[in-house]
Amino acid sequence: MVRVVAAGHVNWDVTLRVEALPEPDGEARIVSQRRSGGGSAANAAVALAGFGVDTGVVGSVGDDENGLLARRELERVGVDLRGLRVVEDAETSVKYLVVDGDGEVMVLGNDGANEAVAPGDVDPGYVRPADHVHLTSQHPDTAARLADLAADAGATVSFDPGRRLDERDYAATIEATDVLFVNDREALEVLEGDAAYPESEVSDQVVVVKHGAEGATVHTPAASFEHPGFDVEPVDTTGAGDAFAAGFIAVLLDHPGDYERALEFANACGALAAQSEGARTAPSFPEVEAFLGEQF
């Protein structure tokens, strides 16, 4: 049985490393190029599988070569693909990630087939047995459907809406979410009385605010906890947020309510992921434990 279902985008990534991003009408030399699977749902699923959690993915790819490569990568690490839709005569979404010398990322991409899962395509029999459903950026109606199925079955729900939070109405999904992951900018929209996301809708939820290199804060109904993060030299921040979310979820699965422990572990996952190139760089449990041991 799949213990965690991760739902959202499954992409193929092309990572281009440059010394610095060019100015308008300028040019930058490509230092290195890397191709691998990507997409927040797929990244989180891979990370959770690496932590020994039985994980499946709900998403969609095209029936092209990139989709085949993405599926093979997921299968290789043990991610269950029964919830992954392969769309005939469609292109898998490709994201071009331009990474500068400081590890900052600029993303270019096409939508492709990564939002071909409509609410009616979701198999309730695949979602309901799970202990937890982790939602990432996807069509709002599909996200809401998945959240409702999980809640009705008694599973917990987390949501990391990502860059498109300000473009889409995710209010219904947020209302059904137990753990919400946002960055500082997104937190202003969710927690500061934005019309689409009134504060009353999230007051009884756990909200994790990611501060990048400055760590993160978790707000619970009972208390708030902060962690300053770890002082590391970033190589590529692509996927660090997905590794962070996966680490947080993995701890809470076995230690419900231990938010301080989850926050520290998640920050370590994000820091280690940022020290490696590519989106699929989530560390294993032993690697995180060794890293944490070195900090004290």
* pLDDT of res. 225: 93
Residues 234-263, mean pLDDT to the nearest whole number: 89
* pLDDT of res. 283: 79
* CA 46 vs CA 54, 74, 118, 249: distances in Å: 10, 7, 23, 13
pLDDT, tens digit, for every residue of 148-188?
999 999 999 999 998 777 788 999 999 999 999 998 887 77
Report whether 248 contacts 262 (CB < 8 A).
yes
Instruction: For Cα atoms 2, 274, 285, give the angle at the middle one, nearest 5 degrees.
Output: 45
Share of the chain above pLDDT 70, in %: 91
Sign of CA pseudo-dihedral 90, 39, 78, 206:
negative
Q: Return d(Cα 40, Cα 38) in angstroms, integer.
A: 7
* pLDDT of res. 166: 76
Q: Return d(Cα 152, Cα 105) in angstroms, integer.
A: 38
Among 121, 148, 242, 258, which one carries the catalytic annotation? 242
* pLDDT of res. 104: 78
pLDDT, tens digit, for every residue of 1-58?
799 999 999 999 998 889 888 888 888 899 888 888 999 999 999 999 999 999 999 9
pLDDT, tens digit, for every residue of 44-85?
999 999 999 999 999 999 999 999 999 999 999 999 999 999
Q: What is the reported pTM?
A: 0.89
* pLDDT of res. 93: 94
**Residue 242: active-site member:** yes
* pLDDT of res. 22: 84
Sign of CA pseudo-dihedral 277, 278, 279, 283:
negative
Q: Is the pLDDT of residue 295 over 80?
A: no
Q: Return d(Cα 135, Cα 131) in angstroms, integer.
A: 13
* pLDDT of res. 197: 45
pLDDT band at 199 (very low <50, low <70, confident <90, very high): very low
Average pLDDT, rounded, for the chain: 88
Q: Return d(Cα 17, Cα 196) in angstroms, integer.
A: 37
Instruction: For Cα atoms 52, 181, 248, give the angle at the middle one, nearest 5 degrees.
Output: 25
Share of the chain above pLDDT 90, in %: 60
Between these two residues, 231 and 37, which has the higher pLDDT value?
37
* pLDDT of res. 279: 52
Whose CA is closest to 114, among 135, 84, 134? 84
Superfamily classification of domain 4-294: Ribokinase (3.40.1190.20)
